[in-house]
Amino acid sequence: MKSYCDGSGTLDSSPFVVLAGVAAEESLWAGFERGWREVLRSRSPIAPYLHMREVVPGKGPFKSWDEDKRVNLVQDCLAYSSQLDKTEFCTFICTVDMRLYRSLKANGAKLPSVWRICNHFVPVGMFAWYLNEFHSRKLPELYFEFDQNERFIGPFQELVRKNQRKTWGGLYNHWDVIKQIVPADMRNALPLQFADMIAWGYHRKMTPPREGAAWSRLTLFTEKVHPFFARISARKNFWLWFIMPIPGP
């Protein structure tokens, strides 16, 4: 079982921070990578990868691409991902309203860190989904990949290490099925490009449009065509942190 997580937004300047994740068995990802790679290669010049931060403004390898060509690339990737068997994978989203978060903190509210909030509902949510969805099968080994330089990964690694140390007397600890949590280069990890597209779409939905109408339409489709197991908005649910403590560092 493999999960891929990617974030959008920053603590200091963004009105929202989003963490998105996609989860599936390894067999699905093998087929996904073949199809995704074909989409990238089915244009001239070939798209080396999909990274919304570069594609949307036309930066990096997309600098010479006009807007129609860049929009078509994202549309084609979205259309391909919409054909995946929706019973075999799931997506997870957590959004934190940073303006509200900063306001509450400034007024003395004791809130978990943004990293803990998002990790609780995305990678930890994936973990719970795995255990519930596949409890009747042989227990899977779980592997997590985060886009490199994501600040979510450290707190999640520490949370898992902390809980894995709680096994005593030879008793079974379900946290032990998590075998690896590593950073990865999204240019090479194709499912991370999928997670990036979802995170971008949801972040743009929550913020005032900065691009043209074509990009605004894409944000609607990125949210609608994939099954969400957990879609949590801290904008409306900050009361939750006071009645349901979020574990972890």
Boundaries of every domain in the chain: 2-243
Phi, psi of 50 (to 5 degrees): -115, 115
**SS3 category, 170:** coil
**Mean predicted lDDT score pLDDT of the chain:** 83
Strand-by-strand arrangement of the 2-8 sheet:
178-184, 142-147, 2-8, 16-24, 89-97, 228-233
Encode pLDDT of 106-126 as tens digits. Answer: 999 888 999 999 999 999 988
Sign, CA dihedral 49-148-209-239, equals positive
List CB contacts of 235: < 8 A, sequence separation 6 or more: 16, 95, 96, 97, 100, 206
pTM attached to this predicted model: 0.85
Query: Does the pLDDT at position 216 exceed 60?
Result: yes
Higher-confidence position of 209 and 59: 59
Question: CA distances (Å), 227 to each of 1, 64, 77, 166, 218, in order?
Answer: 18, 34, 16, 34, 17
Higher per-residue confidence, 3 vs 84: 3
Q: What is the mean pLDDT of residues 89-117?
A: 90
- CB 97, CB 234: distance < 8 Å: yes
Residue 237 has pLDDT above 90, yes or no: no
pLDDT at residue 203 in the model:
82
pLDDT for the residue 87: 76
List, in order, residues 6 or more apart from 155 with CB less than 8 Å away.
113, 115, 116, 119, 248, 249
Residue 223 clears pLDDT 50, i.e. is over it? yes
pLDDT for the residue numbered 227: 54
The reported pLDDT for the residue numbered 186 is: 94
CA distances from 87 to 34, 133, 229, 243 (A): 19, 11, 11, 32
Looking at residue 247, its pLDDT comes to 46
CA 6, distance to chain mean position in Å, is: 4
Domain at 2-243: CATH architecture = 2-Layer Sandwich (3.30)
